[in-house]
Copies of this chain bind each other. A is one copy, B any other.
């Protein structure tokens, strides 16, 4: 079985945000998948997706601190027309990547206990971000 759907995420401020539940709610068909994969793909180049610790908000704050230091706004950027947060956002987006492929097992995302999906918003005002979600797998209903 295949499911493909665009998901509009709630707008969020610059930073790293847990969106696992929001994504799962948008994909009720996951419940029908016995064995499969769920591909999440962000349709933007200044925000990204990653998987990390789902418990402590200070982990997500430390992500923001480290990435701001590693890819600073004050740098020898050629591309500065779209604001000082734009070019660092592009670099951060490629360091973290535009997609996640997650295993699906027994009708659920097969994540580790501490794993959650992060929306990484690298712009000051990125607005609502869209994902293209693609699920492929063996249906639980098939003989």
Contact B79 A59, beta carbon cutoff 8 Å: yes
Tell me which of B62, B93, B98 contacts A87 (CB under 8 A).
Answer: B62
Closest residue of B by beta carbon distance from A70: B70
**A interface, over-half SS:** mixed
A83-115 CB contacts (< 8 Å) to partner B: 87, 90-91, 93-103, 105, 110-115
| A to B CB contacts below 8 Å, 23 in the list | A2-B137, A37-B134, A37-B136, A39-B103, A41-B101, A41-B103, A43-B110, A43-B115, A44-B114, A50-B94, A50-B97, A51-B94, A51-B98, A52-B90, A52-B93, A52-B94, A62-B78, A62-B90, A65-B78, A66-B71, A98-B115, A103-B132, A110-B132
